[in-house]
Each structure stands twice: as C-alpha cells, then as structure tokens.
Structure 1
C-alpha cells in the first residue's frame, strides 16, 4: 500500500501537468475583440517662416512633415470613434524645434542637426537669432511656426484602406498615459466599422489578460499581435511580465487594448516605452474621457451578426456558421476575421470536425397528436364498439344457422356467410383443381360460422353414410342414402363430363338450390352477392 507522502507527491505532479490545461486563456476568447483593433499613426505638418532683418527684411517659408508617434488603439463606435494613448497624438518632442533647425541651417548655411534638440552656434549674432527662432513665439522671435497634427487610423480590414482613414482629435489628456479620443472623418459614414466590447472597470477577479497590439499596419497577412499577461495581484494595475510588456511598447504597443480573458472584453490599455514608464489605464478612465468628448460607446449591426456567427463557429457547428458569416461579409465585405473564419468553416463543413454533422440517426417516429378528450370518453367509446361487435357476431351466427324453407335447399357450397367453400383441401380426392395443379394454401377457401366448428379440420373426418340396396339398379348396386355431402364439407367440384358430352359453363342447380357461379379469371367458385372474386379480385360481371 503506498505511503501517504507518495500519494501527495503524485497528486502534486498531476496538478503540475494539468496546470497548462487549466490556464485561464481560453481559445478564441479574443475573436470577439480583434475585429475592432486599429493602428494609429500621427504626424505634424509645420509651416515655418524665417525673418531676416539684416538690412532689407527677408522671409523664407518652408513646410516640413514630422512623424510624431505610432501605436495601437481600438474602435468603440461603428461610425469610427477610436481610443488610444495621448502619447500617440501628442509627442514629447516639439516639432517646431525640428523645423527651426531645418530652416535656419538651410538659410544661413550652417551645420545644425535636423533633430528635436536646441543647439547653439559659435557666432554670437547667429546664435541669438537661432535662439529667437525656437519656441515659444515672442515679439522678437525670428521664426513664426504653425503646426497641424495629422492622425491616420488603419482598421483591421481585408483589403486594408490605402493610406488609412483620416481622423481628428476630439480630446486628449495631460499625461502620455491619458486616453485620447479620435474620430475618423472619412470611412465611418455607413456605421459599419467593427468595434470592441468595452468593459466598465478592472475587477478584483481579473488576472489573465491579452495585450492586443499592432506593430505594423494591419492586413490579412499581419493580424493583431496577441500576448498573454497577468495582473499581480489580480485586479491591480501591475503586470507580472513587466520586461515583456516594455518590449512590446517599444515595438508599437502604446495604446494596445487589454482584453479580459474571462469576459472577452476590453478593460483598459497599456502605454509607455521610449523612456516613459509602463502604465495601465483602466476602462473607468476611458469612459470618463468618452463622456468629456460627448461620445457613448456602442456596437453596430455588423458586430451583432458577427457575434451570432461566433457562437456557432466556436461550437464547431461549421455548417450553421457559414450563412451567418456570409451575412457579416454582406454587411462588411472587408471584415478580416469573418472572412478568415468563413474559409475555415467552408473547409470543415460536413467533415468529422463539424459537430453539426453527426452519425445518421434513424428517423424519429412521427408523434401522433394527443387528443384533448379525457380518458373516460375513450373508454366509453371502446365499450360501445365492443358491444356492437358482439351484436353483429350474434346476428351473423343466427343467419348462418337458419334452416332453409320447405321445398328449398341451400347450396352446400355456400356457407352461412355467403362465402364459397372450396371442396376439400388442396390435394384431396375430388378437389378443384386436381392435386397435380393444386392452389397454394392461401388460395383455399376457409369456412366460417357454426358449420366451420364441425368441419373435418376441427372434428376429424365424418363417418361413412349408410348405404341401402336398390332393386332398380342393375346387379343390386347400392345407392347412397343421401347424396348431400357431410356436414361441414364443401360440395365437391363438378366432375369432368363423359366422353362426347359437355356441361354448360354454369349448369342450372336443382330447384330451390342457389345459382352456382365461377370466376372467369381463375375458375374459383363465387359466393352469392359477391361483386369481386375473393381469390384474384376479378369483377364477377366481367
């Protein structure tokens, strides 16, 4: 018997093996969010004019485009409201300094680096003029600069829009980690841009996260990058994998959405890098910034249809997911995630991986509609029907046992129910047809009623009839006392006529005996009043 410490050690090893399986990063939990991922790129256009007051005043105007920052973000309304970090649209470096260095070096033909630093010159007069060219602008400034910030949003679409979608800044914060709210000025008119589900806060139970970033402009070949992270402790603003997140920030992750794996919704974004500390901005601050910008986060019709399609797709009901995904593409033909899922669903539909196509089952029996009548009504009806059957049987038996009137004789081949009785069983002497051409057992007429109870099949063969001598017959031959067949036996079939003679098709019976008729199709005897042959179904009047 194993020792206790061995059992404990075994359970510990088993739990270690099962830990990856229980790790709370469910497959497909990010599919609900990734369609709303965007890349944000900002630049500044600086128009600067240099004033030279030496002698005759001269002006030199130049235009420069300066890249500010690139990062990630996400869409929160179908008409194109985007949330990102302020550091993406407000760089710490002043583009006016860059423009001053460029224009001064070009005009005065001096060597000044084209960067965002303030420099000094050995010539006192030129250095005074250079320092007066740097911002802020004053009354004695030698440069006048006008800065325009351009923001482009690149949604995760296939194919991606060339050049992205232009956007304007609705609001930004005082710190690089503050939320910045943008609005596309072109491309959101149809209210069909994919959005993300935005949470309300980072709850105390939130631990497992996915960092959704876009290091480059998104397309079908460059989808959003998803990296796992964990809050330590759960619900805090501290990420356990700090070094990993800092590398992501340097690669273009500022403004990247943080996805709660448990609820598949955005609960904040991360910012920092480039000398700035790593910071988590929660969903509470995002919603406050949206309120300041006069925006309410909402989802559009494309998102509703897409989530319905995801329900079937992630349950591996690929056949059922195909029409729903196709409907998403009807509303938004460039929906990258729906297009990818549709290709997968079409390749797996009807295969063993399709949970909607199981083994062929037997067709279910058609359920009879339940009656609304109470049970006692059916019971009463059954009693009535049974009583009618009993009365009918009694009347039929009385009719079958009724004696013929005086001077009349019933046809021995017709039983009490008017059914023709075949003479003897197949193969017996005198039967019709002969033994060598006998009918199958199901073609032999059965005898019903009281007479059937005394048939040879029930009580055995009848005793031989008494024979009396008749002097009128030559040689003292005997004549049967009664030419009628025994009770319960069918009348024998008509024997073949003597040579040279023929019988009519239906010979006339003796007086008082019923007319005998035979089927012209199969030759079997017909009962009185029958319109069709009971053996072959041929009409009797044909």
Structure 2
C-alpha cells in the first residue's frame, strides 16, 4: 500500500513539472518568392549599329550614321554574386540582321528616297541608286558601298531602391540555338571587392505532379518608384519535354486560362522570368512563349547551358544573412528578424525585398503577433517553484508510512503501560507457597531456561511480575515493563 501511494505521488509530481516546461518553437520555411525576388533583374537589349555610306554617285563622299535598335526586353535571374544572369537567347542575341535595317535607313536619309526602315532588302527604280543600295547590303564584298559595325548592348537593372538609372552591362557568352533557349550573361566589368549581389537558388528538378503550384516573378518595365516586381501564380500542366517547346501551364480548377494569361505577361516583359517552385522557393524554370501560349523551360536546361559556359552558380554572404532573417520573419520572430534585415541592407543597400520585410518587422515588433516578445515575457516571469511539489510528495510519503504503522499496530497484542502499584502493607505473605526456584548453569555450560514464579498476595486477583515486581492486571500475559511472561 505504501509503495503504491508513493508511486502515485511521484507520477503526479512529474506530470505537474512537465506541464510547466516551455514548448520549443517550430521552424517554418521561408516565403515562396522571397528567396528569388531580390535576384530578379530587368533585361534590356539593344543593337548598336555604326554605318558609313561611301557615296560615289554624284561626288565622292563618306556619310556616317549610328543607330540603336532595341530588340529585347524581359526578365533575368542573378545566379552568382558577381552579377552573372541567366535569361533567354531572345534577350541577348538579335535574330534580325540589323545591317540591312541600317542600309535602308541611311540610303533613305541621304539620297532622299522612300525605303521602309525594316529588315528586308528592297530595290529602287533608279538603276544607279539601286546598284549602290544592293552593294550596301550584307554580306560585305569588294565592291561594298557600306561599312557596317554591329555591337550588342545588354543592360541589367537590379531590383533596388532608389533605382539604378544606368544598371550594369552584360555580354552573352553562351546561348542555345532557339530564341527561347536559355542564355548565360556575364558582367562586362565584374564587381571588385564587396559581397556582390543577391542570388536565386536553383532547384534540382521540376516537380512531376500535374497541377503543382508555382509563382512567376519578374518586371513589366524598368524598376522604379512606380514599377515593382510582379508575381503571378501558375500551375504546371501535363507533359513538356526538354528542347520541345517547354512545359505548359494549366489551372487544375479551370478558373483561369493560364497559358493565355502568362503569354500576355511574357509579351509585356515577364518573358525569361524565373518560375519558382512552391515546395522550397527555388527556381524550377524560366517563362517562355508569348501571345496566347505561355510555357516554361525546366531547370535542367538552365544548368546545362551554365555547364557549357563553365559557370558555376553559387550563393553569397548576402543570401546567407537574408535567409537567416527570413527564417525568423516567417516564424513571426519579428524582434529578432529586424536586425537581420538591417544587416542585409548594410551588405547590399537598396535591397527592395529586405527593406519591405524590415518595415513590416519593425511595425510588428513587440506586438501581439511577435513570438519573440512572447518568449521574452515567458522567460522574464518567475519560474514555477518546485517546493510545493516536493512538500506534496513528502506528505504523500508520510501518509503512506503512517498507514503502514497503524496497520502493524492493529496486528500487535495490547501491552499494558500501567505503572506498578505498591503492595498492600496489611496483606500477609504466604511464605510457604509458590517459592522461586533458581536454576544455575551446569558445569557442562548447558543453558537451562530460567523458570520464574509469580508471587501472589492474599487477594488472588492481584499479581506482580516475579522479574521486576511490576503489578500485573488480571488479563495480562506479559509484563508491560520488562516483557516477561506472567505465567510459565
């Protein structure tokens, strides 16, 4: 009984102590687009043409002109702190022959003839002018009347505030053969020192499941006070083979015609934008197509062109600091997230995403949603003392011991504690009866039990112990003082 009572008390104490311990915070992943959107850039590509017309018709004269012909505008993704970007070939390589455009343009301006400013070769009714025009068109020959030099100017405008008016220049070092194949663009002047730029993490593969949710993040114009990065939700459709047009999009609930929606956004500047997976916020592909058919090329095609260009995508110090702050932010530890975002802005001033999250963190810091404040308040409260539980356990053990003692007492015969009374002076002793017999040890040292006789007074109801002389009650079988039996 005592053991069961003590065990029950111990279990109760342990339960109370465990319920008083704090529960550890659960970690959540960072936001779906937050990891990638700081690394999104606006790409603008221009063909710069310098042309010299050798006029031999009327008089020998050299006419020089230069033209800037925009041919690509879309979105790219930074994959290395040095500013290396992955985009599409159409944003890096002009598919048209700008030398033809420049020949039409300079002939029409100098000779005052009507020639469309396009990429087609035309003929003139005047035989001499027509011969000189045909000799101005490429390819270059020994009788050429035009000297043409074409260069491509690619500019990346990062997602910063205040916006960068000039951006930074890129050159294409590798691209696939088709306009919607991925391309690798590296800075003309790599940044020296510092920590570089934010980068986007690349996924290992594209989700296989049809209807997998994704997000597309990019720019519909050059970043500025009124142009922020755009994020659109999309879902992966069925099929799609690398090198065969890409994977389609499809809304599993059929509420939105996603190919048409994304195709229109591609035409407005979202082409080449990173497609972000819903699982961990990594880039799983790039948006391609246009018109009424927006699709996605997968991350394997991106990594293949990077490998061909001998470029290894990597993350930097900014990304490490940013991900640490994001973890605190998305677990609602706003007090702890704020210094993290401030650190990111120290490393990369103007980071639009970090600045926005810092503003939110400061607004919610110390508020009812801030888990950091709740944790600090819990730690500042005095800890629950253990002495009440210890005292309760002591009381339970004491009660168990008392119960066991009482149970033992109930099973033990009663022993008199009555004090001895003096023998009556008037009662004569019977010297001849009940004499005490003394038994001594024999020479063989055998122990013989000592026999004692009880001396009785004249009143036969009164008895005394023959060993110590204490008065015995009529029902006592043992002496209450020395414990010897009243009868032998």
Give the TM-score of the pair, scaled to structure 2: 0.66
Computing the radius of gyration from Cα coordinates, the structure with the larger value is 1
Q: CA deviation at 1:332?
A: 1.2
Partner of 2:71: 68
Alpha-carbon distance in structure 2 between the residues aligned to 1:159 and 1:367 = 58
Alpha-carbon distance in structure 2 between the residues aligned to 1:198 and 1:218 = 23
Secondary structure of the residue aligned to 1:357 is helix
What per-residue deviation string (whole Å, max 9, x for no partner) do you get for residues 12-59 of structure 1? xxxxxxxxxxxxxx9931111100100110111111111233375432
Partner of 2:269: 252
Out of 303, 306, 309, the position equivalent to 1:293 is 309
Secondary structure of the residue aligned to 1:356 is helix
Alpha-carbon distance in structure 1 between the residues aligned to 2:288 and 2:128 = 43
Alpha-carbon distance in structure 1 between the residues aligned to 2:32 and 2:263 = 24
Q: CA deviation at 1:330?
A: 1.6
Is the CA contact 1:203–1:235 (under 8 Å) kept in the aligned structure 2?
Answer: no
What per-residue deviation string (whole Å, max 9, x for no partner) do you get for residues 147-167 of structure 1? 010110011111222211111
Deviates more, 1:213-222 or 1:71-80: 213-222
Out of 170, 186, 197, the position equivalent to 1:193 is 197
Matches within 5 A, 1:149-168: 149-168=152-171
Check 1:344–1:196 CA distance in 2 against 1; reply closer, same or farther (3 A cut).
same
Partner of 2:434: none
Out of 43, 47, 51, the position equivalent to 1:48 is 51
Alpha-carbon distance in structure 2 between the residues aligned to 1:48 and 1:65 = 11
Q: CA deviation at 1:138?
A: 2.5
1:340 aligns with 2:356: yes
Matches within 5 A, 1:1-400: 28-54=31-57, 57-186=60-189, 188-189=191-192, 190-205=194-209, 207-219=212-224, 221-233=226-238, 237-240=247-250, 241-273=258-290, 278-358=294-374, 360-361=377-378, 362-365=381-384
What per-residue deviation string (whole Å, max 9, x for no partner) do you get for residues 238-288 of structure 1? 11211111101110122111111112110110223379x644221111111
Alpha-carbon distance in structure 2 between the residues aligned to 1:55 and 1:114 = 24
Check 1:331–1:55 CA distance in 2 against 1; reply closer, same or farther (3 A cut).
closer
Is the CA contact 2:42–2:221 (under 8 Å) kept in the aligned structure 1?
Answer: yes
Is the CA contact 1:202–1:235 (under 8 Å) kept in the aligned structure 2?
Answer: no
Is the CA contact 1:46–1:65 (under 8 Å) kept in the aligned structure 2?
Answer: yes
Alpha-carbon distance in structure 1 between the residues aligned to 2:283 and 2:189 = 25
What per-residue deviation string (whole Å, max 9, x for no partner) do you get for residues 440-496 of structure 1? xxxxxxxxxxxxxxxxxxxxxxxxxxxxxxxxxxxxxxxxxxxxxxxxxxxxxxxxx
Spell out structure 1 runs of 4+ moving beyond 6 A. Answer: none
Q: CA deviation at 1:220?
A: 5.8
Secondary structure of the residue aligned to 2:311 is coil
Ranges in structure 2 where 5+ consecutive residues have no aligned partner: 1-28, 242-246, 251-257, 388-488
Check 1:161–1:257 CA distance in 2 against 1; reply closer, same or farther (3 A cut).
same
What per-residue deviation string (whole Å, max 9, x for no partner) do you get for residues 118-143 of structure 1? 33322233223222222222333322
Deviates more, 1:189-198 or 1:74-83: 189-198
Is the CA contact 2:261–2:294 (under 8 Å) kept in the aligned structure 1?
Answer: no
Check 1:191–1:205 CA distance in 2 against 1; reply closer, same or farther (3 A cut).
farther
Check 1:363–1:182 CA distance in 2 against 1; reply closer, same or farther (3 A cut).
same
* Number of matched pairs: 342
Is the CA contact 1:45–1:66 (under 8 Å) kept in the aligned structure 2?
Answer: yes
Check 1:232–1:123 CA distance in 2 against 1; reply closer, same or farther (3 A cut).
same
Secondary structure of the residue aligned to 2:31 is coil
Is the CA contact 1:85–1:180 (under 8 Å) kept in the aligned structure 2?
Answer: yes
Secondary structure of the residue aligned to 2:373 is coil
Is the CA contact 1:210–1:229 (under 8 Å) kept in the aligned structure 2?
Answer: yes
Q: CA deviation at 1:69?
A: 1.1
Check 1:358–1:55 CA distance in 2 against 1; reply closer, same or farther (3 A cut).
closer
Secondary structure of the residue aligned to 1:191 is coil
Is the CA contact 2:47–2:150 (under 8 Å) kept in the aligned structure 1?
Answer: yes
Is the CA contact 1:153–1:184 (under 8 Å) kept in the aligned structure 2?
Answer: no
Ranges in structure 1 where 5+ consecutive residues have no aligned partner: 1-25, 369-542
Q: CA deviation at 1:212?
A: 1.3
